[in-house]
Amino acid sequence: DTGVSQDPRHKITKRGQNVTFRCDPISEHNRLYWYRQTLGQGPEFLTYFQNEAQLEKSRLLSDRFSAERPKGSFSTLEIQRTEQGDSAMYLCASSSGAVGNNYGYTFGSGTRLTVV
Amino acid sequence: RKEVEQDPGPFNVPEGATVAFNCTYSNSASQSFFWYRQDCRKEPKLLMSVYSSGNEDGRFTAQLNRASQYISLLIRDSKLSDSATYLCVVTPLRGGSYIPTFGRGTSLIVHP
Residues in B touching A3 (Cβ below 8 Å):
none
CB-neighbour burial class of residue B9 (10 A; exposed 0-12, middle 13-18, buried 19+): middle
Per-residue model confidence as pLDDT tens digits over A47-62:
999 999 999 999 878 8
Per-residue model confidence as pLDDT tens digits over A67-113:
999 988 999 999 999 999 999 999 999 998 655 567 789 999 999 99
A93 in contact with chain B, both atoms CB, cutoff 8 A: yes
For residue A6, list its beta bridge partners: A23
Report the SS3 class of residue B54.
coil
- B104–A40: do the CB atoms touch at under 8 Å? yes
- Is residue B59 within 8 A of residue B77, CB to CB? The reply is yes
- Is residue B8 within 8 A of residue B22, CB to CB? The reply is no
Of B32, B46, B95, the CB nearest to A56: B95
Q: Is the pLDDT assigned to residue B72 strictly greater than 70?
A: yes
Instruction: Give the separation between CA A96 and CA A50, rounded to whole angstroms.
Output: 10
State residue A61's pLDDT score. 83
> From the candidates B4, B21, B32, which should be mutated to test the interface with A, based on the most A CB atoms within 10 A?
B32
Q: Is the pLDDT assigned to residue B97 strictly greater than 70?
A: yes
- B96–A50: do the CB atoms touch at under 8 Å? no
Chain B closest-CA separation from residue A17 CA (Å): 25
- Closest residue by Cα to residue A86 from A115, A57, A48, A46: A115
Residue of A nearest to B5 (CA): A42
DSSP secondary structure code for residue A52 in this structure: T
Instruction: Give the separation between CA B86 and CA B18, rounded to whole angstroms.
Output: 15
Classify strands A106-107 and B93-94 as parallel, antiparallel or unpaired: unpaired
B54 in contact with chain A, both atoms CB, cutoff 8 A: no
* Conformational region of residue A60, where left means phi above 0, alpha means psi within -120 to 50, and beta covers everything else: alpha
- Closest residue by Cα to residue B25 from B108, B93, B95, B107: B93
Query: Which amino acid is residue A52, in one-letter code?
Result: E
Per-residue model confidence as pLDDT tens digits over B25-34:
998 888 899 9
Instruction: Give the separation between CA B107 and CA B47, rounded to whole angstroms.
Output: 15
Chain A closest-CA separation from residue B18 CA (Å): 24
- B49–A103: do the CB atoms touch at under 8 Å? yes
